[in-house]
Amino acid sequence: MRAVEFIERPIEGLAPCYLLKGGDGFMTRAVVDKILSALPPEDREFNYDELGDETSVADIVSAAETTTLTGGKRVLYVRRRSRQLSDDEKKILSAYCAMPNLDSVLILEDTPHAYDGLGGYPAIVECTSATLDEMKRAVTVETGKRGCTISRAAIDKLAAYCNLNYGRVAVEVAKLCDYADGGRIDEEAVEALVAPDADYRGYMLASAFDEGNIRKALGMLAGMRSKGEPAARILAMLTSTFRKTFHCAISSLDDKALAAALGTTESSVRTTRRIIRDRKKSVSGYVIKLKEQIEYLYELEYKFKSGVISDENALRLAVAKLTAVNKREVR
């Protein structure tokens, strides 16, 4: 089951063992909190423990098998492991998961392959970043719970401004609902109350240069500078966005693996690759020109960080290069 689905659904009964896979910290914490919400307050206070990587499997099982003094359920959350289980540890933990103490809830937070080969059929929750569709559904559900409605355009804008960061979206939804006070949230409210994050702003600026819309790019740049955006940060935004775009153009990894490698979302990779396919059809030597731009941006960033040139001059040179390269001849 996906984490977003688990968070949204009412809990009708707790499984004795959960394996949380995927590694998204916000989603993992939200799932743990959802499990705890099903317990009476006294159990949450007195019968909940978090165990670290140093805790042996034998001690974990012993704690899970121990009956609580209050007679309620015990919840044990074993945080991320930095190593795989040994064969003996797998046998001990698998034997417990196959015949668990039904008065305990054991939550195991996985890291890649740490619990490979674990038997006993624990309930698996995929704690990966939310997809765009999941994000939209979650926003609709949460605004409904708070007595508000939200337009599709507002949801799209909110997801883009927050760069599909589920944790930030949850915070912004609460703020928007307080503002709407039971009314409708439209696109204008999102624009007024939610600040676009750096990844989104960098993506929009780089996209304007990449599509050859120099007037739009320079207008966005002027707006960012008028609001006090440092030259060094803008240069970093451009470098990061063009780097991700170039990797999307040349990588043989699938969307999921490349998203993990670049620290972005699958939907972002899919969108970028679709844009690249269109660019290749209309622009001669598109990938070569993309490579030239990223190499030049890396060179400028190195010179700036080495003290050879100032951040202001580095940004001016970057803009001059991007403007010249992207005033391209389109087939």
Q: What is the pLDDT along the chain (331 residues), one digit of tens a residue?
A: 888 888 878 888 889 999 998 877 778 888 898 898 888 887 777 888 888 877 888 999 998 998 776 667 889 998 887 777 888 888 898 999 889 988 899 999 887 777 877 777 788 998 887 777 888 888 888 899 899 999 988 998 888 788 777 777 888 898 899 999 889 999 999 888 887 776 677 777 888 898 888 888 898 888 888 878 889 989 988 998 899 899 999 999 998 888 888 877 676 788 788 889 888 888 888 899 899 999 999 999 899 888 999 999 999 999 999 998 876 543 3
User: Span 3-126: which CATH code?
Assistant: 3.40.50.300
Rounded Cα distance between 181 and 101, Å, is 46
Within 8 A by CB and 6+ apart from 285, the residues are: none
What's the pLDDT score for residue 70?
67
Rounded Cα distance between 300 and 281, Å, is 30
Q: Dig out the tokens for 219 from the structure.
A: 């207008």
Burial 236-254 (b: 16+ CB within 10 A, else e): bbbbbbbebbbbbbeeeee
User: What SS3 state is found at 108?
Assistant: strand
What CATH class has 132-193? Answer: mainly alpha
What's the pLDDT score for residue 330?
39
What's the pLDDT score for residue 54?
78
Where exactly does CATH 3.40.50.300 map onto the chain? 3-126
What's the pLDDT score for residue 267?
67
β-pair partners for 107 = 18, 77
What's the pLDDT score for residue 148?
93
Q: Is 73:65 a contact under the CB 8 Å cutoff? A: no
Q: Where are the alpha helices (DSSP H) in the chain?
A: 3-8, 25-37, 41-46, 57-65, 87-98, 132-145, 152-161, 166-180, 187-193, 198-210, 214-226, 231-250, 255-262, 266-282, 286-305, 311-326
H helix or E strand, kind and range, residue 50: strand 48-51
What's the pLDDT score for residue 177?
92
Place of tokens 């739009």: 216
Rounded Cα distance between 263 and 330, Å, is 32
DSSP 8-state assignment for residue 229? -
Where exactly does CATH 1.10.8.60 map onto the chain? 132-193
Place of tokens 């993506």: 203
Burial 276-285 (b: 16+ CB within 10 A, else e): beebeeebee
What's the pLDDT score for residue 329?
43
**Fold observed for domain 198-326:** Zinc Finger, Delta Prime; domain 3 (1.20.272)
